[in-house]
Structure 1
Amino acid sequence: MTCRPERGFTLVEVLVAVSLLSVLMLALASAFRTMAQTESRVDERAARTDDQRVAADLLRQVLGRVSARRVAAPAVEGGFAVPFQALPQAIEWVGILPARPGVGGRTWFRLQVEPGPAGDALVLRFAPWDPAQPAPPDLTQADARVLVPTEAVLQVFAEGQPPAGVSPANWPQGWVEGWPPRGHLPERLRLRITDAHGPWPDLLIPVYGMSQGSNTGDGFTIGGSR
């Protein structure tokens, strides 16, 4: 009786199988890594979108209602100005701080880019408004809310129609950087904010003057007109 030799895998076949298995494992590892990176990018994009939404909502609240009461300002033509000043890269105004325990009411605000630990940061500073002190306080050490922590850029544009009695020739036409008139509020603001990942969608904010009497006796300013 003849014994037939048992057949197994040759060394070459084993090497080929191991090589194919290695290629398959590398492909799977690459696919899992790509999925993880995609998920991380999606999470980062979602977090950035959420940060933008929170910052935009806050700015709409504090810039949507601005004090229109004109106060003495000897350096301004006419001797009076509203407590609102918009420069191409900063805004300072009196508005309403959203209510929270212990704080609220009329408040001095300043929005601008400041040097920070991680680079230029977009910071909203605020301090209580004192009606006996028409000039803005020193906000350098005031409470702050960081809206963009690094690589922040802010551009401020405004527009509005001339109020009664003001010649259109002496009034800003269309969107302008900052807001030159000191005696009247603009009707709208447009903020362009950029962070480390690029520009945000333009933030358009209608400006409404808070209904309070002017100390000049000639009415109050709402959105650039009386």
Structure 2
Amino acid sequence: MISRRSQGFTLVEMMVSVTILSLVMLATVTGLRTLASTQTSLNRVTDRNDEIRSVSSFLRDALESAVVGSSSGGLSVGGGSAEMTVFEASSTQLMWKTTMMFGERAGGSYVVRIAEERPNIVLRWQKMNVFGQVGDWNKASARTLVEDVQEFAVAYRRQVEGEWASQWDGRGPPGWVRLRIRAGERYWPDIVMEVAQ
């Protein structure tokens, strides 16, 4: 005689096993979605950190290689007798003369400007004309440094221990420049740079 147990599973046993299998599948799918969401967030944070690092590094290099005038005690244009200062600063832009390389063959002495051009922070550069003057910035070569900017502020101080000022007095270049940037609804760490003297 064949026992009832050897004939197969009951309907209740099948329903219990299908329910357990469904719960395992639900947990697996939820875990995979969480993993994908975490990976996306991690990529976004990594991209933001890379952007901060590259912009900060570029700006530090550009300010460290600022062209220093020999007779004016500050940044100046042309030879040693030139008195025209090329460092201009306000609370929303920074302009100075520096030596830069663009690619393998293009480079030299340029006047560069960092300014907020809503909604971005834009780097513009151009060479001075033979009279030591800067042309129209709207026609200058440009590259976007930071996109989706909600706040951009420049501050200055003469000494390491001094107070930060939002406007520079124009007496030569400051000792230090601080950039405060809020982009993508988040504040960047302040970028503090020493200016060549």
Instruction: Give the TM-score of the pair, scaled to structure 1.
Output: 0.73
Which residue of the partner structure matches residue 106 of structure 1? Answer: 109
Contact 2:112 2:124 in 1 (8 A): yes
Query: Residues 150-179 of structure 1, C-alpha deviation per residue, up to 9 Å, x if partnerless?
Result: 235321011115xxxxxxxxxxx6210131
Using CA pairs under 8 Å that are at least 6 residues apart, name the structure with larger relative contact order, 1 or 2.
1
Query: Residues 207-226 of structure 1, C-alpha deviation per residue, up to 9 Å, x if partnerless?
Result: 11xxxxxxxxxxxxx3xxxx
Contact 1:67 1:82 in 2 (8 A): no
| Structure 2 counterparts to residues 1-226 of structure 1, below 5 A | 2-5=1-4, 6-69=6-69, 81-98=84-101, 100-115=103-118, 120-130=119-129, 132-160=130-158, 174-181=163-170, 183-208=171-196, 222=197
Name structure 1 gaps, 5 residues minimum: 73-79, 162-172, 209-221
Contact 1:60 1:205 in 2 (8 A): yes
Contact 2:127 2:134 in 1 (8 A): no
Separation in structure 2 between the aligned mates of residue 186 and residue 108 of structure 1, nearest angstrom: 17
Tell me which protein shows more helix as a share of its residues. 2
Instruction: Give the aligned length.
Output: 184
Give the letter for the 2:90 counterpart.
Answer: L
Contact 1:68 1:83 in 2 (8 A): no
Tell me which protein shows more strand as a share of its residues. 1
Which residue of the partner structure matches residue 80 of structure 2? Answer: none
CA displacement at 1:39 relative to structure 2:
1.6
Which region of structure 1 is more displaced relative to structure 2, 59-68 or 185-194? 59-68
Name structure 2 gaps, 5 residues minimum: 78-82
Give the letter for the 2:121 counterpart.
Answer: L
Separation in structure 2 between the aligned mates of residue 39 and residue 88 of structure 1, nearest angstrom: 38
CA displacement at 1:129 relative to structure 2:
2.7
Separation in structure 2 between the aligned mates of residue 19 and residue 50 of structure 1, nearest angstrom: 46
Quote the sequence identity (%). Answer: 28
Secondary structure of the equivalent of 1:158? strand
Question: Over aligned residues, Cα RMSD in angstroms?
Answer: 2.1
Contact 1:192 1:201 in 2 (8 A): yes
Instruction: Give the TM-score of the pair, scaled to structure 2.
Output: 0.83
CA displacement at 1:98 relative to structure 2:
3.0
Give the letter for the 1:52 counterpart.
Answer: I
